[in-house]
Amino acid sequence: MNKKYFAALLVTSSLSLGSAMAAQTDETSQLVEKQVLSWMNVEVVKQSSIIQKMVFDCQFYSATPVLKSPDGSESSFGRYQFYSHDGVLGSMTEPYTTQPLPELQLCIKSGFQVTNQDQAQLLFEAIETVYPNDSMFDQNYAKEIIKKEKEWHLIDGEIFDDKKGYVIKVNDKGHVTKVIRSLNL
């Protein structure tokens, strides 16, 4: 057999075998992926409360990914918040630091005003239905509401001797113009 012909045949065979192995690997990878995906589930809970209906124009949902192992055990990880506003679904900012919460502000009813302590309390309780304070350090903390010039501080705990909670900025008529989660009130 001609050496050039044999070398070409060897290279062609190697490439064909490599392609077949790659196709097999891709197919096997897809089967593994499909199997693992069958273990995953997402639990979605629609939040519903009278207080939310009084303050917000949005519907809120929480989603928790759940992994069901082949041995039958389950573990969940994370909790993600979503809102639906005028037929549009969006994800909520999860406040871990001092930061604005534009989705929460978007969801406040346009006619809702915060001009007195009772309205501030109503807003505070509505926010807590969306963002529950699950910190064990704040369980016994007496919540506070403080009126400042054109803003309200809704305090739900402490972190390193600083008060934390929400800053609600309002205009002259008491309409909410900005909602901020703050770790330094």
**Token duo for residue 182:** 């703050």
In a domain, 124, yes or no: yes
In a domain, 94, yes or no: yes
Sheet order of strands, 144-148 included: 99-100, 176-182, 162-170, 151-159, 144-148
3-class DSSP state of 73: coil
- Average pLDDT over the chain reads 83
In a domain, 164, yes or no: yes
Q: What is the pLDDT of residue 79?
A: 83
C-alpha to C-alpha distance for 129 and 96, rounded to whole angstroms: 17
In a domain, 2, yes or no: no
What's the number of domains the chain is made of? 1
In a domain, 29, yes or no: no
Domain that holds residue 164: 40-182
Contacts of 36 (CB under 8 A, 6+ apart): none
3-class DSSP state of 13: helix
C-alpha to C-alpha distance for 164 and 180, rounded to whole angstroms: 11
- pLDDT digits 0-9 by tens, 88-137: 999 998 888 889 999 999 999 999 999 999 999 999 999 999 987 766 56
In a domain, 21, yes or no: no
- pLDDT digits 0-9 by tens, 30-57: 888 888 888 888 899 999 899 999 999 9
Q: What is the pLDDT of residue 17?
A: 44
- pLDDT digits 0-9 by tens, 68-86: 888 878 888 788 899 999 9
Determine if the pTM surpasses 0.85: no
In a domain, 20, yes or no: no
3-class DSSP state of 151: strand
- pLDDT digits 0-9 by tens, 128-147: 999 877 665 656 677 889 99
Q: What is the pLDDT of residue 15?
A: 45
C-alpha to C-alpha distance for 138 and 159, rounded to whole angstroms: 9
**CA dist 53 to 33, 47, 166, Å?**
41, 11, 20
- pLDDT digits 0-9 by tens, 141-183: 778 899 999 999 998 877 788 888 899 999 999 999 999 999 8
In a domain, 112, yes or no: yes
